[in-house]
């Protein structure tokens, strides 16, 4: 006899899903209506506008794919790449490698620009690759590499793509809502994100936006999109403007309620304030982690505030330590992936999780767990974080005085 | 300024989504935990068992695809069809046509067996096609055609497939939970369903099951699966057994809570009882619709209890009538698709929606709406339904006496 499932209470400080805002969970469980109901169509229109504002774009083709971020990634490549097309793919972590695999499965050719895990994408190498391959149709890169915590210079990479006549395809799964992302100002042509990272929404949707140049490329295709489910020609018929919507697939109605509410919350806060909040709590966490003796994987200028990758100290058992954090403190942090497995922890501060109480709880719990492996800090982590918060308050007050 | 969205209250009697059970909505909004959390892994293991029981199968490869039914369909074809493969596809409505398109986009060849909309798949025509194409690798058909309300003889079709050395690929989006579906007993090789039909769960997931024969075919592939997101070799790594799960994509955690609860509810009721409940309320609705003078599209032996397609009476404005039902009674019924647009209504009695109060409310509201177009019935619809319920009670009492 299998019974109803009641999840334990967790503080989600891993690489996503992050903590969900209570208002988002409330929206999620509102009563389901039909996906062609006029009330639902009105909600979809609002959702498009909210996504355009979050992506900072006027792109008419802006919508949430009805599946997780990996499907958003696939939607970009499946629509923009035809067999034989060459794509320059930047690989500096798990998600760049996944982009390459997408290109290859679709019959495209991937020219890979490799950087060390933890490094941002190297602009010079990308420029060399684009010069060596003038036939490239797109440059693809990850803005915020969730596997390493490195931020790449998306604006400069998009400029390179434009200069070499390529579309810029950008993975913004972890960046949207957490750090500046300017789809129109930077000239991004295709971008996908995730609902479950800095938007504080449940996992399962992938916001996506295509520029007019990208749409023109879809329209010029000479081969059909391999995927029926992800063919944006068809998806647009449902998410298009006007009252006449063509049925494509049954929309995940309740998940879309949740995303709508998450984006309303983002507007209430103001997206620039959300970026500042992520930066503030990252500084406090980073100060605390340093005081605990933990070293960051990524050099300071390229660090993502929302994803803090640190080396596991010698003598500390990775799995045992994370299990203690989970069992004794209800805190989830992320394990390392690939070459970082067993060597790195990934501490997320994403969306609703990026709050002072979580930073302090995380540092206190980490100290307690590390102590069991002989790494002692005497409260230094929490103290350093509190000092960072106090300093930030001071700066703010100074700023107000000056202004 | 866009505000929080509050959906109107509806009774969902269309082709899906259907009414969600309140316990499913409650499960949906439980607090999110990580998709690699041991508590979540335990829930996934239960979910697999619950799905195996609902599908009546021992197939180890039984899991929910993290996207709607259309993606479940695509998962079947993307994994089982390689370029050049020939598939016999039965087309007697929208969803058979979509199967054909899937095969063709993947580079396969589709031999189409066509039947009129509203008819079940013709076994003789299928046998002829299989004889004419001994190279066929699969026979694909829709068990319960949601666009017409016709039920095809899945057991016999699977037998034909087996006899001709083909895999049987079955669309059970609308059948699972509503009418008998016996994956192992009938010899189905690949089957996909939807969460939002007779399971009373929110839309967005597609339960799927593959036989050992189908799995063997995936393993024998000589070309990679075109879709990274739907590649079951990778998906299995996450849904596989044991504690070591490979990260593939971020699971839609809350939607999976909801599906788990929906399947727990199905077990509490007993799946045979659920089939009987759908049949009972269909009989009452059919009696009422007949009394209102509405004609069924599908001949009686092939009718789906959960999807009642009826011709719109002459002189009744389709869109206006459905808008009145929605605005004045909060009842959603489905429009006709394709050749049935403007000519047919589709009245669903799926999952939690298949209840006496909905049958009576629907008939009463339909009578009121039809009266505005001059079609009068003087309460005959509700009276006929009540008589059908009374007769069913009588039969049950007789049965008890006899037994």
SS3 (DSSP) at B77: helix
User: Is residue B219 predicted with pLDDT exceeding 90?
Assistant: yes
Residue A38 contacts B, CB cutoff 8 Å = yes
Output DSSP code: residue B304. B
Mean pLDDT of B40-64: 97
| A267 with B203: Cβ contact below 8 A | no
Angle at A67 between CA A344 and CA A149, to 5 degrees: 20
Length of chain A: 403
Domain assignment present for residue A2? The answer is no
Residues in chain B: 403
What average pLDDT does the segment B102-109 reach? 97
* Beta-carbon separation of B74 and A10 below 8 A: no
Q: Are B187 and B64 within one domain? A: yes
Q: Which whole number is the average pLDDT over B303-329? A: 98
Q: Is pLDDT larger for residue B236 or for residue B228? A: B228
pLDDT of residue A43: 97
A28 has a chain B CB within 8 A of its CB: yes
For residues A282 and A98, what is the distance between their CA atoms, to the nearest angstrom?
Answer: 27
**B34 in reach of chain A (CB within 8 A):** yes
Interface test with A, best of B8, B102, B254 (most A CBs within 10 A): B254
pLDDT-derived band of residue A204, with 50, 70 and 90 as boundaries? very high
Who among A2, A70, A252 is closest to B267 (CB)?
A2
pLDDT the model gives residue A239: 82
pLDDT confidence tier of residue A398, bands split at 50, 70 and 90: confident
- Domain co-membership, A245 together with A295: no
Chain B: residue whose CA lies nearest to A78: B227
CATH number of domain containing A378: 3.90.1150.10
Tell me: do B233 and B281 sit in the same domain. Answer: no
* Residue B240 confidence (pLDDT) above 80: no
pLDDT, residue B253, reads 97
Number of residue pairs across A and B with CB atoms under 8 Å? 252
Give the per-residue pLDDT at A167: 98
Give B252's contacts in chain A (Cβ within 8 Å). Answer: 68, 202-204, 255
Q: Which two tokens stand for residue B325?
A: 């039902």
Out of A36, A43, A255, closest to residue B204 by CB: A255
Rounded mean pLDDT, B214-225: 95
Which residues 207-266 of A have a C-beta within 8 angstroms of B? 224-229, 247-255, 257, 260-261, 264
A16 touches B: beta carbon within 8 Å: yes
Flag if B35 and A29 touch (Cβ within 8 Å): no
The CATH number covering residue B176 comes to 3.40.640.10
Q: C-alpha angle with apex B131: B127 to B137, nearest 5 degrees?
A: 95
Q: What is the mean pLDDT of residues B36-40?
A: 95
Closest to B68 in 3D by CA, of B189, B171, B183: B171
DSSP assignment of A104-118 equals HHTT-EEEEEE--TT
Predicted local confidence at residue A377, as pLDDT: 86
Nearest residue to B233 (alpha-carbon basis) of A105, A81, A205, A341:
A105
Question: Is residue B80 over pLDDT 90?
Answer: yes
- Indicate yes or no: CB of B27 within 8 angstroms of CB of A4: yes
A45 at B interface, C-beta within 8 A: no
Same domain, B122 and B220: yes
Helix, strand, or coil (residue A272):
helix
Rounded Cα gap, residues B386 and B368, in angstroms: 18
| Residue of chain B whose alpha carbon sits nearest to that of A17 | B34
A298 and A67 in contact (C-beta within 8 Å)?
no
Give B14's contacts in chain A (Cβ within 8 Å).
34
Whether the CB of B269 is below 8 Å from some CB of chain A: the reply is no
In a domain, B5, yes or no: no
Q: Is residue A387 over pLDDT 60?
A: yes
Domain boundary among the residues B267, B294, B310 is at: B267
Q: Are A224 and A107 in contact (CB under 8 A)?
A: no
Q: Tell me whether residues A249 and B102 touch, CB distance under 8 A.
A: no
Q: What percent of chain B has pLDDT over 90?
A: 93
Taking an 8 Å cut-off on Cβ atoms, the answer to whether B5 and A50 are in contact is no
Higher pLDDT, A238 or B268: B268
Q: Looking at the structure, do residues B235 and B324 belong to the same domain, yes or no?
A: no
Q: Is B194 on the interface with A (CB under 8 A)?
A: yes
A183: confidence class by pLDDT, cuts 50, 70, 90: very high
CB atoms within 10 A of CB A41: 17
A241 pLDDT band, cuts 50/70/90, is: low
Query: Based on the domain organization, do A225 and A85 belong to the same domain?
Result: yes
Question: Strands B344-348 and B307-311: what pairing?
Answer: antiparallel
Confidence of residue B315 (pLDDT cuts 50, 70, 90): very high
For residue B204, the chain A residues in CB contact (below 8 A) are 66, 204, 252-255
Number of domains in chain B: 2
Nearest Cα residue to B199 out of B258, B145, B276: B258
Residue A18 · residue A351 · CB < 8 Å: yes
Residue B268 has pLDDT above 70, yes or no: yes
Residue A113 pLDDT: 98
Distance CA B310, CA B340 (A): 10
CB contact under 8 A, B106 and A226: yes
Give the 3-state secondary structure of residue B334.
strand
User: Which residues fall within 8 angstroms of residue A23, CB to CB, at 6 or more apart?
Assistant: A261, A265, B4
Residue B253 lies in a domain: yes
Structure tokens that stand for A166 in this block: 């390529």
- Who's near A43: CB < 8 A, 6+ residues apart? A256, A257, A260, B5, B7
On whether both A186 and A313 belong to a single domain, the answer is no
B33 touches chain A (CB under 8 A): yes
pLDDT tens digits along A322-361: 999 999 999 999 999 999 999 999 999 999 999 999 999 9
* Confidence label for A243 from pLDDT (cuts 50, 70 and 90): low
Tokens of B260: 């788990």
- Residues 6 or more apart in contact with residue A202 via CB below 8 angstroms: A17, A20, A24, A25, A28, A195, A196, A255, A258, B32, B252, B253, B254, B255
pLDDT above 60 (res B242)? no
A127 near B CB under 8 A: no
Block residue for tokens 């949430």: A64
pLDDT tops 60 at residue A403: no
Where in B275-364 does DSSP place strands (E)? 307-311, 331-335, 344-348
The pLDDT, as a whole number, for residue A397 is 87
Q: Do B67 and A70 lie within an 8 Å CB cutoff?
A: no
Of A227, A245, A267, the last residue of a domain is: A267
Residue B374's region, left for phi above 0, alpha for psi from -120 to 50, else beta, is: left
> In chain B, what residues touch A96 (CB-CB under 8 Å)?
none
| A1 assigned to some structural domain | no
Out of A10, A46, A203, the one facing B2 most closely (by C-beta) is A46
**pTM to 2 decimals?**
0.97
Largest CA distance in chain B: 67
Rounded Cα–Cα distance for residues B395 and B283 (Å): 13
B190-192 β-sheet, strand order: B61-65, B206-210, B190-192, B167-171, B138-142, B86-91, B109-114
**Do residues B135 and B251 both lie within one domain?**
yes
Nearest to B250 among A194, A225, A253 (CB): A194
| Residue B11 placed within a domain | no
List of chain A residues whose C-beta atoms are within 8 Å of the C-beta of residue B105: 224-228
pLDDT tier, A402 (very low <50, low <70, confident <90, very high otherwise) = low
A1-39, pLDDT tens digit by residue?
Answer: 999 999 999 999 999 999 999 999 999 999 999 999 999
**What is the residue range of A303's domain?**
271-402
| Nearest-by-Cβ selection for B260 from A5, A226, A251 | A5
CA dist A164 to A124, A128, A167, B94, Å?
13, 11, 9, 44
Among residues A267, A300, A320, the one where a domain terminates is A267
DSSP string, B134-156: TT--EEEEESEETTTTEE--HHH
Tell me if B30 and A67 make a contact (CB, 8 A cut-off): no
Mean pLDDT of A77-91: 98
- If we measure between CA atoms, which residue out of A143, A227, A69, A208 comes closest to residue B249? A69
Same domain flag for B91 and B121? yes
Distance of CA A120 to the CA centre of its chain: 16
Query: A239 and A330: one domain?
Result: no
- Shortest distance between the Cα of B394 and any Cα of chain A, in A, equals 33
Of A16, A40, A250, the CB nearest to B250: A16
Task: Looking at the structure, tell me whether residues A325 and A237 fall in a common domain.
Answer: no
Based on the fold, state whether residues B78 and B98 are members of the same structural domain.
yes
CB B190 within 8 A of CB B10: no
Q: Does B319 touch chain A (CB under 8 A)?
A: no
Q: Calculate the average pLDDT of chain A.
A: 96
pLDDT score for A2 = 97
Nearest neighbour of A27 by CB, restricted to B4, B31, B49: B4
Partner-chain contact B225 A105, CB within 8 Å: yes
Q: Is residue A11 part of a domain?
A: no
Q: Does residue A237 or residue A243 have the better pLDDT?
A: A237
pLDDT at A289: 98
Write out the two tokens for A13. Answer: 């400080």
Structure tokens belonging to residue B268: 């509490």
Closest residue in A to B48 (Cα) is A2
Q: Do A8 and B39 touch (CB under 8 A)?
A: yes
Summarize pLDDT for B374-401 with one digit per residue, the tens: 998 889 999 999 999 999 999 988 887 7
In a domain, B377, yes or no: yes
Q: Residue A339: is it exposed, middle or buried by C-beta count within 10 angstroms (0-12/13-18/19+)?
A: middle
Report whether pLDDT(A205) > 70: yes
pLDDT > 90? residue B251:
yes
Tell me, yes or no, if A85 comes closer than 8 A to chain B by beta carbon: no
Half-sphere exposure of A95 (CA within 13 A, CB side): 34
The answer as to whether A68 is a domain residue is yes
Dist CA A156 CA A141 (whole Å): 12
A269 lies within 8 A of chain B by CB: no
């Amino acid at each position: 006899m299998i019974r109803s499932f009641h999840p334990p209470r967790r503080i989600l400080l891993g690489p996503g899903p992050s903590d969900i805002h209570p208002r988002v969970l409330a929206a999620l469980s509102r009563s389901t209506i039909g996906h062609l109901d006029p009330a639902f169509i009105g909600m979809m229109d609002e959702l498009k506008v909210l996504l355009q504002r979050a992506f900072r774009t006027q792109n008419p083709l802006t919508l949430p794919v009805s599946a997780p971020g990996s499907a958003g990634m696939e939607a970009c490549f499946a629509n923009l790449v035809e067999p034989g097309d060459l794509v320059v793919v930047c690989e500096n972590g798990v998600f760049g490698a996944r982009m390459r695999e997408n290109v290859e499965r679709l019959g495209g050719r991937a020219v890979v620009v490799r950087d060390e895990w933890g490094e941002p994408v190297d602009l010079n190498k990308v420029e060399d690759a684009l010069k060596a391959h003038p036939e490239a149709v797109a440059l693809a890169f990850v803005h915020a590499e969730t596997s390493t915590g490195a931020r790449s210079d998306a604006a400069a990479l998009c400029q390179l793509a434009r200069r070499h006549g390529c579309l810029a395809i950008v993975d913004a799964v972890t960046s949207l809502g957490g750090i500046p992302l300017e789809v129109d100002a930077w000239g991004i042509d295709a971008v996908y994100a995730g609902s479950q990272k800095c938007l504080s929404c449940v996992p399962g949707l992938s916001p996506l936006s295509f520029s007019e140049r990208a749409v023109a490329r879809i329209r010029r295709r000479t081969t059909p999109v391999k995927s029926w489910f992800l063919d944006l020609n068809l998806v647009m018929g449902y998410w298009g403007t006007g009252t006449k919507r063509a049925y494509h697939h049954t929309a995940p109605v309740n998940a879309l309620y949740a995303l709508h509410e998450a984006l309303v919350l983002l507007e209430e806060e103001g997206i620039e304030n959300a970026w500042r909040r992520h930066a503030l709590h990252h500084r406090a966490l980073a100060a605390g982690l340093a005081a605990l003796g933990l070293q960051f994987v990524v050099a300071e200028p390229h660090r993502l505030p929302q994803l803090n990758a640190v080396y596991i100290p010698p003598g500390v058992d990775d799995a045992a330590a994370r299990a203690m954090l989970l069992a004794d403190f209800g805190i989830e942090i992320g394990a390392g992936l690939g070459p970082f497995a067993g060597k790195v922890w990934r501490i997320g501060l994403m969306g609703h999780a990026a709050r002072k109480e979580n930073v302090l709880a995380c540092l206190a719990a980490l100290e307690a767990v590390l102590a069991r492996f002989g790494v002692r800090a005497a409260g230094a982590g929490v103290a350093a974080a509190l000092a960072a918060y106090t300093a930030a308050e001071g700066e703010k007050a100074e700023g107000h005085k000056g202004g």
